Amino acid sequence: MKKITAPLNEKAIADLKAGDRVLINGTLIVARDAAHKRGLNVELKDQVLFYAGPTPGRGGKLVGSIGPTTSSRMDPFTIPLLEKGLKGMIGKGGRSREIRDAIRKHKAVYFVATGGAAALLGKTVKHAEVIAYPELGPEAVLKLEVLDFPAVVAYDIYGGDVFER
Amino acid sequence: MREITTAKITEALARLCEEAACDLPAEVEEALNRALAEETSELGREILREIINNAEIARKDRLPLCQDTGSAIVFVELGQEVQITGGQLSEAINEGISRGFSKLRKSIVADPFLRTNTNDNTPAIIHTDIVPGDKIKLGLLLKGGGGENASSLKMFLPGASEDEVVDFVVKLVVEAGARACPPLVVGVGIGGTFDYAPLLAKKALRRRAGHLNSAHHIAQLEKKMLKRINETGVGPMGLGGKVTALAVHIETYPCHIASLPVAVNLECHAHRYKETIL
């Protein structure tokens, strides 16, 4: 199990191969359908996007359970974000060939996490804040600080694809 | 006539929301443990361990199993000797869902195009059957979007073979891949009409996971579909492996001489169904 830090740097990305299990530490940006449709106007250079929308937490906490949603729904919006310097995405399931190739071309990496393991993944969230579109409620853009968030490398920069093994 | 107040219905549903969201049914957890014993893919085993750990954390800490706490599908079996007092049944149900979702994710938008969140996960999808007796049985299924998006209906013709029907179901599971969050519970509705087959498929999900249909030939078909689905290699979260489905449940109904409707409703491993009798 590799430990990596987000935002990602070139060296960390070069070390990742499809099928690797990783524990992610640091910052994740949470966004899903509605925020993508609005252009996702937040700083994304070197950042990792997590396609998700949480349940509310106990005692006024912003995040209770949180897990990945289907990534391919975000495919039509992804290339402009890669062009802005996005380096990682976390979701579930495969993506279109076009997006897989674009991720590789931009030397970015795509991770999958376990759908429906949202209580477990929610436990890795140490801090959360809304950074854009608060009016979207469960689809608002959040910044999370996570500790040992488990994921699997799905697409690496060498053309590796965990779904084609 | 036995009187049942709308307040009781509201209260029961609010409670079922929390139980369904946080407590994985025991038979699903048992099926996941059997899956872990059978799975040979190391990545698949790791995913199954996460799913099993997740169920323990959810139950203990009262956290939803999945962040997608779903559409609220309410099955009402209303005894014909019951008189409901204190208001309207549908309002009582929606009030229960609204209260029950205060700590769950609100995933319902008021209009499919305008997409403004209703902020309390209402309205529920309500299916009512009038049955003999003086009780009300309430069933609540919290149905996630991933499995729903990957579900389908096909109007076969009566000449179709059983194998063609099996192929349709298996192909759908493969196309769904990780989107439906395997290992799945697969609900299949066969017969009825264009509208009724999908309802049968959804009702099939109410059965305790892994219990077979009481008709022998349908039970055999359930076993055959499960075997074929688990030979696809899709595996836990689509990452490859032996365990793609935990169970296949088929419900059937008489149909027209010209028709053979087949509906498939895919359900993720976070199978959230609870019921209560008033």
Question: Quick one: pLDDT band at residue A3, thresholds 50, 70, 90?
Answer: very high
Taking CB atoms and an 8 Å limit, are A55 and B117 in contact across chains? no
Asked if B185 contacts B205 with a C-beta cutoff of 8 angstroms, the reply is yes
Whole-number percent of chain A with pLDDT over 90: 96
Task: Give the model confidence (pLDDT) of A98-145 as tens digits.
Answer: 999 999 999 999 999 999 999 999 999 999 999 999 999 999 999 999
B71 beta partners: B143
Contact A18, A156 (CB under 8 A): yes
Confidence (pLDDT) at A155:
98
Q: How confident is the model at residue A59 (pLDDT cuts 50, 70, 90)?
A: confident
The top-level CATH class assigned to A2-159 is: alpha beta
Question: Based on the number of CB atoms within 10 Å of its own CB, is B278 exposed (0-12), middle (13-18) or buried (19 or more)?
Answer: middle
The Cα–Cα gap between A149 and A62 comes to 17
> How many C-alpha atoms does B85 have within 13 Å on its Cβ side?
7
The domain locations on chain B are 2-20+65-143, 145-271
Residue of chain B with shortest Cα separation from A54:
B67
Question: What residues form DSSP beta bridges with B260?
Answer: B156
To test the contact with chain B by mutation, choose from A37, A73, A114 the residue with the greatest count of B C-beta atoms within 10 A, namely A114
Dmax over CA atoms of chain A, in Å, equals 44
Integer CA distances (angstroms), B48 to B58, B238, B244, in order: 15, 12, 11
* pLDDT bracket for residue A165 (50, 70, 90): low
Q: How near does any CA of chain A get to the CA of B169, in Å? A: 19
Q: Can you give the pLDDT at residue A40?
A: 96
Q: Which of A30, A32, A50, A55 to mutate to test the interface with B (most CBs of B within 10 A)?
A: A55
Cα–Cα distances (Å) from B214 to A20, B87, B146, B252, in that order, read 44, 38, 29, 11
pLDDT lower than 70: segments of chain B? none
Say if A118 is an interface residue toward chain B (CB within 8 Å): yes
The answer to whether the beta carbons of residues B202 and B208 sit under 8 Å apart is no
User: Is 90 exceeded by the pLDDT of residue A49?
Assistant: yes
Q: Quick check: B13 and B140 in contact, CB under 8 A? A: yes
Q: Is A105 exposed, middle or buried (0-12, 13-18, 19+ CB in 10 A)?
A: exposed
Mean pLDDT score, A144-159: 98
What's the token pair of residue B174? 């493969």
pLDDT digits (tens, 9 = 90+) for A15-25: 999 999 999 99
- CA gap B11, A2 in Å, rounded: 47
Tokens describing residue A88: 């990682």
Interface pTM, i.e. ipTM? 0.94
Q: Is residue A91 within 8 angstroms of chain B, CB to CB?
A: no
Q: pLDDT band for position A60 (50/70/90)?
A: confident
Query: What are the sequence ranges of the domains in chain A?
Result: 2-159
Amino acid letter for position B233: G
List A residues 49-68 in contact with B (Cβ-Cβ < 8 A): 52-56, 58, 64-67
Quote the strand ranges of B44-148, DSSP E.
Answer: 71-79, 82-85, 125-131, 136-143
Q: What is the pTM of this model?
A: 0.95
pLDDT digits (tens, 9 = 90+) for B225-235: 999 999 999 99
